[in-house]
Chains A and B, each alone.
Chain A
Amino acid sequence: SQQGEEDPQALSIQEGENATMNCSYKTSINNLQWYRQNSGRGLVHLILIRSNEREKHSGRLRVTLDTSKKSSSLLITASRAADTASYFCATVIHAGKSTFGDGTTLTVKP
């Protein structure tokens, strides 16, 4: 079974709105990473947050991590049609061991 679970499974918003997706996991982690996958393509790394960090920003992306609740959230601000993709969290327990969730499918309508 997957370590991380994303919520919601699917999200549809209008361009310009913010999109928030969540990831919950079960065991202690070293860090958590978010990836994006466009239809028919490979995954692209977005951002990494370490277990001792609570929040991290990269451009329009904001990631939070709550290790006490074993959860993380990814916020995309001012969404664009090009943000339409599936977003996956990957929990890293130790070097070389990443476990991916089943993803959130985001649709941004122009």
Chain B
Amino acid sequence: EAGVVQSPRYKIIEKKQPVAFWCNPISGHNTLYWYLQNLGQGPELLIRYENEEAVDDSQLPKDRFSAERLKGVDSTLKIQPAELGDSAVYLCASSKRVSSYNEQFFGPGTRLTVL
């Protein structure tokens, strides 16, 4: 079974430029998460999808960040315009369905550097 796929693995951009990250969750997983992980810290939830519906986006900075999961499968996270402080690793995770007891399966992440 393929794991969570993310691309690109690395991205370097100038500040004020747009950037997009793509995630393909494990087949059959209805729940998809986007996390931000700063160096030396744990992941922080940005947005959670149940199928195509964003059910928790309270931590997503909506002035510059947007996300979509149009067909309830793969998802895209976009930043426009990027700021220096956005440099971090962006992790995507999925789980079978929303449940307190479901483990999350993480992708390898996209490391973003904003210059």
Question: How many Å from the CB of A65 to the closest CB on chain B?
Answer: 14
A34 → chain B closest CB, angstroms = 10
Whole-angstrom CA separation of A96 from B56 in the bound complex: 9
Contacts of A2 in B (CB 8 A): 41-42
Check if B72 is an interface residue, CB within 8 A of chain A.
no
Q: Quick one: which of A42, A48, A100, A103 contacts B107, CB cutoff 8 A? A: A42
- The stretch that binds A, out of B14-22, B61-69, B77-85, B95-103, is B95-103
The residue of chain A having its C-beta at the shortest distance from the C-beta of B41 within the complex is A102
Residues A31 and B43 in contact, CB atoms below 8 Å apart: no
User: Are the CB atoms of B40 and A102 closer together than 8 Å?
Assistant: yes
B-side interface size class: 20 to 34
Q: Tell me the minimal C-beta distance from B83 to chain A in angstroms.
A: 22
A42-B100 contact in complex given A88-B42, A96-B56, C-beta closer than 8 Å: no
Q: Does A30 contact B (CB under 8 A)?
A: yes
Q: Which residue of A lies closest to B42 (CB)?
A: A100
B:17-50 near A, CB below 8 Å = 31, 40-45, 48, 50
Closest Cβ neighbor of B102 among chain A residues: A95
Q: Are B103 and A95 in contact (CB under 8 A)?
A: no
Closest CB-CB distance, A82 to chain B, in whole Å?
Answer: 18
Residues in B with CB closer than 8 Å to A43 are 43, 91, 93, 104, 106
B91 A31 Cβ-Cβ under 8 A: no
Q: Residues of B with Cβ closer than 8 Å to A?
A: 4, 31, 40-45, 48, 50, 55-56, 91, 93, 98-101, 103-109
List the 6 shortest-distance A-B pairs measured between CB atoms, nearest first. Answer: A42-B106, A100-B42, A45-B103, A30-B100, A43-B106, A96-B98
Q: Which residues of A line the B interface, CB within 8 A?
A: 2, 4, 30-31, 33, 35, 40-45, 48, 50, 88, 92, 94-103
Q: Can you name 14 A-B residue pairings with CB atoms under 8 Å?
A: A42-B106, A43-B93, A43-B106, A45-B103, A45-B104, A48-B103, A88-B42, A88-B43, A96-B48, A96-B50, A100-B42, A100-B44, A101-B42, A102-B41
